[in-house]
Structure 1
Amino acid sequence: MMKQLVIAERVCLTGHILSKAFGLAGILLVIPHAEKILNFGDVGQTAMQLSMANGGVVDIIFGTVAVSIFAFRTLGWQTWLSFMVPAVLISVSSELLGTGTGFPFGDYHYLNGLGYKIAELVPFTIPLSWFYVGLSAYLVARAGLGVAKNPTILRQVGAVLLGAVLFTSWDFALEPAMSQTSLPFWFWDQAGAFYGTPYQNYAGWFGTSTVFMTVAALLWRNNPVKLEPKQLNVPMIVYLSNYAFAAGLSLGAGFVVPVSLGFITGVIPAVLLWWKAVTQDETPSAATEVTKVATAVGAK
């Protein structure tokens, strides 16, 4: 059973990454030359419509399933759901509030391309993306700060805040790509000061992700939630691939500063946290080495 889960996880993760790669290539290379595709008649038109309507949905579903299987098999079903359920419910509530009132993100509305809209306002794929990228960011932050080994209040609070920073940093690259390029997925009713995005939006992202990560931390307080070094690769791949997709779109449209900011505040810290967690687990402590030597001497 576990082998089948690993295979399914890898297939979905590969599908997630390939969907992003094809989507990036399509938006940057195909759409600007759409007339060549449409020259193929009904086949070309159908291909364009399917890609435009379902590309983003498939990508997000693949990511959701991959991370869900990963969390189920490495953390257990209760730990997985105790993050997923609050993340989805809190993020969709925040999005519905935002699209309806302008708080906490600003005045915006979603266009087509991300699937069925909940209450005709928020695509169902949006809270799913909050879940799987949010969990990836939070797990990397927890591992890097060593919460499983020493679950102090300070470390747990730090993991929540750092996880929210990593998650929000993704949006620095994502926002201009999704709202101001040739194929927007949402639209700002009032353009903001930061490359068309209101500063309030980033506060909303940080606040919302902090809330659901805090809920998860409270629900996980009696669970060490420890991952082996190799197991951290999946959250890192998910985080980096999602950032790379957003960065590619934004750079293609000339948004260098938001992408650079996200790289500095998100990618670099994530890699350092991952590296710290991996090297700490792979390198035995001095005390452990002394114990091993003493045991060997005593045995002789």
Structure 2
Amino acid sequence: MRQLVIVERVCLIGHIVSMVFGLVGILLVVPNAEIIMNLTEVGQTAMQWSMAGGGVVYMILGAAAVFLYAYRTLGLGRALAFLLPSVFISLGSELSGTSTGFPFGHYSYLSGLGYKIAGLVPFTIPLSWFYVGCVSYLLARAGLEVDKKPSLLRHIGAIALGALLLTSWDFVLDPAMSQTSLPFWYWQQPGPFFGMPYQNFAGWLGTGSLFMTVAAFLWRNNPIKLERSQLNLPLIVYLGNFTFATVMSLAAGFSIPVLLGLLTGVAPALALWWQGSNGQPVAIEPATQEISVANVKVALK
């Protein structure tokens, strides 16, 4: 278990460092090409690597860190029960969105985020839905004490809040990433919210709510109780990715999306983390893990 924690932390640190490195490249180096010319050969190689695969690396490391965390704290079955629905449902939404415009609006991905599935959606995009969606839902579920005081209303509230935290990240990320000096996607029909159509938010809320609902259903027989200290990684991942999006948006001159994201994302995330679970840590029994895995296998048939 100690080795697993070490690998998890290495992935988390690498995830954060990759985001910082990416910000330096996008905001400082790309707009000022002379900087590259003044770098050493090693520096130029590193910058070329960053531009070619930095976005891919930071999302892969983020997904790895969150999956290892979920495996360690929730068990393999429950980790898979969130990973699989979030990846496949979000991929379906993205493929539909890039093909038909539903549910997000008409947009297309450019290069920089890795191999495109069906030539449309980079394989890293579903991974980002997974890791940001997972930490958002865990914060909401723990903060509303769904597993200490279970009720249908609390379950619905956790899904709604989790989807809101996920969407709030996009409030800040999407305007900048589609209009930076090195854009990663573009809107074929720009909308009124800093280039984004309002339909995009409905698509994010709907997609996030759908895979969180599926995960909640698969977890229904296995309560999850985490200590506040066990919620630190979800909070760090959420705030780290929000900070990345914030720097990008402010650099592009978009302050209103940042303020909106702070109000609907960061503030609730901090409040949910603080509320957290004040109960006792729960040991995941081997039998529980086996039942969870069985549920996932049945669900996939």
TM over 0.5: yes
Number of residues of Structure 1 aligned to a counterpart in Structure 2: 281
Distance apart, 1:10 and its partner CA: 0.5
SS at match of 2:276: helix
Distance apart, 1:96 and its partner CA = 0.2
Asked if residue 9 in structure 1 is aligned to residue 45 in structure 2, the reply is no
Report the CA distance between 1:25 and its aligned residue: 2.0
Match of 2:138 in 1: 139
Q: Matches of 1:39 and 1:69 in 2, distance apart?
A: 40
Match of 1:254 in 2: 253
Structure 2 spans left out of the alignment, 5+ residues = 282-301
For residue 32 of structure 1, give the secondary structure of its aligned residue in structure 2.
Answer: coil
Q: For residues 73-152 of structure 1, what are the structure 2 equivalents within 5 Å?
A: 73-152=72-151
Percent identity between matched residues is 65
- Give the match's secondary structure for 1:166: helix
Q: What do you get for the CA RMSD once the two structures are aligned?
A: 1.6
Q: Secondary structure at the match of 1:187?
A: strand
Instruction: Name structure 1 gaps, 5 residues minimum.
Output: 283-300
Shift, 1:150, TM fit? 1.1
- Tell me, yes or no, if the aligned pair for 1:177 and 1:253 is still in contact at 8 Å: yes
- Residues 79 and 278 (structure 1 numbering): CA distance in 2 closer, same or farther, change over 3 Å? closer
Letter in 2 for 1:75: L
Specify the alignment match of 1:30 in structure 2: 29
**Corresponding residue number in structure 2 for 1:231:** 230
CA distance in 2, matches of 1:98, 1:45: 36
Preserved contact between residue 231 and residue 273 of structure 2 (Cα < 8 Å) = yes
Contact 1:87–1:212 (CA under 8 A) maintained in structure 2? yes
Residues of 2 paired with 1:29 and 1:42: CA distance? Answer: 18
Residue 295 (structure 2) aligns with: none
- Structure 2 distance, partners of 1:29, 1:233, is 31
DSSP 3-state at the match of 2:30 = helix
TM-fit CA distance, 1:109: 0.2
The match for 2:290 is none
Q: Which is richer in helix? A: 1
TM-score relative to the length of structure 1: 0.90
Which SS does the other structure have where 2:108 is aligned? strand
Taking the aligned partners of 1:41 and 1:112, their CA distance within structure 2 comes to 26
Residues 86, 129 of structure 2: 8 Å contact kept: yes
- Please say if residues 229 and 281 of structure 1, whose CA atoms lie closer than 8 Å, have aligned partners that are also in contact: no
